[in-house]
A and B are shown apart, each in its own frame.
Chain A
């Protein structure tokens, strides 16, 4: 509690004077119709294609790392722009993740290493499916863990409490509770104004209870979002979101949070992590992985900067379906592996620490002699975020058949 209050205070100081006045004004305006201002928000991000956790959170203290990867290893921290950014003397961040270092330094970024799904499939399709449903090994689960994680709400429910960024409702957010898919806040409307009037009164008046309910929700969400659409969005504190998929998605999440329209959970994803070839270019800040991390780190860094003191209400958690082989392949890349790394950051996070037991990279320590072994189940991390951030302690329903073990990542869990 103490440390959280401190975080709030110090961030407020840090952003004093930068666009603070228009913010509260905006908030008051949008909050007029909002169910309850300043909700706690859980943001879940999926890196599709299997991120190479060993080159992102680099175990430079493990001698095997350099013998396994003679051409694509990230050099030990040595102060140059091509070397790893030291975290704790053993692990370091890929240099392209420099925008995330301030979050670490503020003690609000935690890393979990050797984490992932206990299911050993190396199929992207199955592994993503298992991670999104939250039930590894079980294909028939029809809903996603983040939908099950939403607490039962009493009274008025915000039409935009659960938002999936992108054209379809992500598997992670599908299920019984209402969740909206928004690919672009600016386009979430009936395009014809005359048509909009007709449809709204039609769905409000219909005796069809199912369509009436969802219809009302829809037009409430449209109205809620319309209020946000009025003004162009200017990120605070000079934050600049990168182009691509994740940058704009994070910016829209930021916009929804600041508008106080009742957002509680958000989901976004970013593809392209399947780095079989040319993972690392002539320099470590070049090549496929560096390009991906520029967008990823840039988007998360910008979000952190943009949110300022609002970060106190937010927890962001990242995941990817499995890791990649410990040994590099013959194409300056890596193949499908097993355990991976996850990032958790936000005001409630006990950051500045790499969590998870390190299984080691020596031959006999590798899973099936080739991959980083798993020491933490991804549901332990997600479960703690659900309990801590959403206050939903009924984790047996969120992760059926599993009892998440907390790692003490969050202050409030």
Chain B
């Protein structure tokens, strides 16, 4: 901890004064780092800082907007996202992503899980009715049968036989097929755009998989979704979630709200690829996290506790109390042996350690077991079919429990779990833990303890009003200080979103960006551990991730990322002056070290090839991959 805070100090020292002499600063005396949190930012720096810390990075023109509205008023609006009109560009981009608006059951039917494919392959379930889903399931079932040596005759029922697909030759002319095989991007785009919507499903079924993938990036959005669905239905779910998260970060006007949604999803992390969670995550984020991101922690706690996504992820749906033995059934000679089931402590433990009290929050192993007993019977009806929360009183442990010194009398039901949530909400460790976590994310890796205490006090006074806690932070002198400025390394999600916002690129579809994010170490919705991603800078600084950031920056500015376009609306200045470009993208002056490195690279280029003109795209790539741009 000690060295970390020293490091933070050295860093902030060096970053506040661009003209700082290029020598290693002397190690400051211990304890003086807190002084930086007393050093106020200048007025114009405050706006820049607010845009970097409370949004996914400034776009061209944002500074002027905040100046006009007034910083205080702008913050107030961001704290009340419902009062901000949403960006129509965002709404148009989200409109086709239908799985985001579906119930879990609708998702299970429209985007069938692998279990259904196995059942179809074994002749135990009929094929779906929708033609594209049907074709995909049939093809996947065929593959499943081949892999598992199942004869097709024993498994495909007569009435399920799919109508023969329209051959590709009947849908497209030979030159058109050639275009989709080897045409130029514009030709492909034009051809795919000219195809009648009614033919989309036939085309998706008729195209071989390789050609579908190849043309995905040139297809209109509905066609692209059809292609994806025809390949593997459940891929659409992950794709929609990823695009939703990327589109909102880049285009939403409710920027602080979006940061908070990211914060709380990460706090109550669920891993998308754990079995049935694929079906549950879309509604989990939409219904259990998003509505409460700036509301009350109590609602978050209750909504996540009752969500099938969390119940499945942390196994509580399988946790049962001691079951009464049925003597007659046990005596039957050939009684089928039931799998041994019992108490599962996973949710109980993480609820205390990760969701509320924190690891040093003052609970024991006994408390974990008692909490788990209180939540027995909180389960899911038909998890594979997308069923919802179900309190099953039959498997609830009816005995007396003592949780953190509070007695919960015997004979209770679902309210046992609700009482636990209430105890945790009002526990001082929860206030401290949540305040600290927010401060680490929004202030610095080692936030000033006095600020954390005031935020915790607000949490306690308001029984978990998140907006009030944020208000306390935003009203503090520590927040608007030199100690906070540039103290955080961007997460890959923030880095990618901020780069796209800075340069004004347009996202058509997000598959490749999602892959980039995974390469940088932050696959969205795919953090396996319930801890979520760490908010500390160290989480994101490693060799391959850093190389990944540099390569991403260069690819973005040179228009090499499929699905992302730099067109006329991009904000790249018409200049090859590195200072001008850097200022436009960074919204502040570039450090002298970065500027001279860019110039050195350009000279190098000219030396190698005297005719080559230094291009704005390369300069912009260097700026977005620079150390300066990795901080906020």
Are A211 and B544 CB-contacts (below 8 A) given A194-B601, A195-B554? no
- By beta carbon, the residue of chain A nearest B17 is A207
Complex: how many Å from CA A195 to CA B617? 11
Complex: how many Å from CA A197 to CA B605? 9
Q: Which of B496-545 contact A (CB under 8 A)?
A: 518-519, 521, 523, 528-531, 534, 537-538, 541-545
Residues of A within 8 A of B149 (CB): 278, 281
Residues of B within 8 A of A72 (CB): none
Complex: how many Å from CA A335 to CA B371? 31
Are A178 and B543 CB-contacts (below 8 A) given A195-B625, A199-B625? yes
Are A197 and B274 CB-contacts (below 8 A) given A180-B544, A208-B631? no
Residues of B within 8 A of A211 (CB): 489, 541, 546, 627, 630
Are A202 and B541 CB-contacts (below 8 A) given A139-B350, A139-B530, A209-B7? no
Q: Are A195 and B528 in contact (CB under 8 A)?
A: no
Q: Tell me if B626 is interfacial: C-beta within 8 Å of chain A.
A: yes
A/B pair count, beta carbons within 8 Å? 160
Are A202 and B593 CB-contacts (below 8 A) given A125-B271, A281-B149? yes
Residues of B within 8 A of A123 (CB): 315
Q: Are A194 and B148 in contact (CB under 8 A)?
A: no
Q: Are B274 and A125 in contact (CB under 8 A)?
A: yes
Complex: how many Å from CA A178 to CA B11? 20
Binds B, one of A148-156, A215-223, A298-306: A215-223
Q: Tell me if B551 is interfacial: C-beta within 8 Å of chain A.
A: yes
Q: Tell me if B325 is interfacial: C-beta within 8 Å of chain A.
A: no
Residues of A within 8 A of B10 (CB): 209
Interface residue count on the A side (C-beta < 8 Å): 51
Q: Tell me if A270 is interfacial: C-beta within 8 Å of chain B.
A: no
Binds B, one of A14-22, A51-59, A105-113, A167-175: A167-175
Q: Are A190 and B627 in contact (CB under 8 A)?
A: no
Q: Tell me if A210 is interfacial: C-beta within 8 Å of chain B.
A: yes
CB distance from A337 to the nearest CB of B (A): 13
- Among A194, A199, A210, A368, which residue has the most Cβ atoms of chain B within 10 A? A199
Of B20, B597, B618, which contacts A192 at CB under 8 A? B618
Residues of B within 8 A of A89 (CB): none
Q: Hey, what's the 0/1 contact readout for B548-569 against A, CB within 8 Å counting as 1?
A: 0011001100100000000000
Q: Are A214 and B543 in contact (CB under 8 A)?
A: yes
- Among B359, B534, B597, which residue has the most Cβ atoms of chain A within 10 A? B597
Q: Tell me if B349 is interfacial: C-beta within 8 Å of chain A.
A: yes
Residues of A within 8 A of B523 (CB): 168
Q: Tell me if A236 is interfacial: C-beta within 8 Å of chain B.
A: no
CB distance from A148 to the nearest CB of B (A): 15
CB distance from A38 to the nearest CB of B (A): 23
Q: Are B547 and A222 in contact (CB under 8 A)?
A: yes
Q: Tell me if B34 is interfacial: C-beta within 8 Å of chain A.
A: no
Q: Are A168 and B622 in contact (CB under 8 A)?
A: no
Q: Are B547 and A207 in contact (CB under 8 A)?
A: no
Q: Tell me if A45 is interfacial: C-beta within 8 Å of chain B.
A: no
Binds B, one of A181-189, A375-383, A389-397: A181-189
Are A142 and B630 CB-contacts (below 8 A) given A202-B594, A207-B593, A209-B10? no
Q: Tell me if A412 is interfacial: C-beta within 8 Å of chain B.
A: no
- Among A180, A188, A206, A210, which residue has the most Cβ atoms of chain B within 10 A? A210
Q: Tell me if B147 is interfacial: C-beta within 8 Å of chain A.
A: yes
Q: Are A368 and B340 in contact (CB under 8 A)?
A: yes
- By beta carbon, the residue of chain A nearest B277 is A125
CB distance from B492 to the nearest CB of A (A): 11
Q: Are B594 and A206 in contact (CB under 8 A)?
A: yes
CB distance from A195 to the nearest CB of B (A): 5
13 sample A-B contacts, Cβ–Cβ < 8 Å, listed by A number: A125-B271, A167-B519, A169-B544, A178-B543, A180-B543, A190-B550, A194-B604, A198-B622, A199-B625, A201-B600, A201-B601, A203-B627, A211-B541
Closest 4 CB pairs of A and B: A198-B601, A207-B14, A202-B597, A205-B593
- Measuring CB to CB, which residues of chain A are less than 8 angstroms from any residue of chain B? 123, 125-126, 129, 139-140, 142, 159, 167-169, 171, 176, 178-182, 188-192, 194-195, 197-199, 201-203, 205-212, 214-215, 217-218, 221-222, 277-278, 281, 331, 368-369
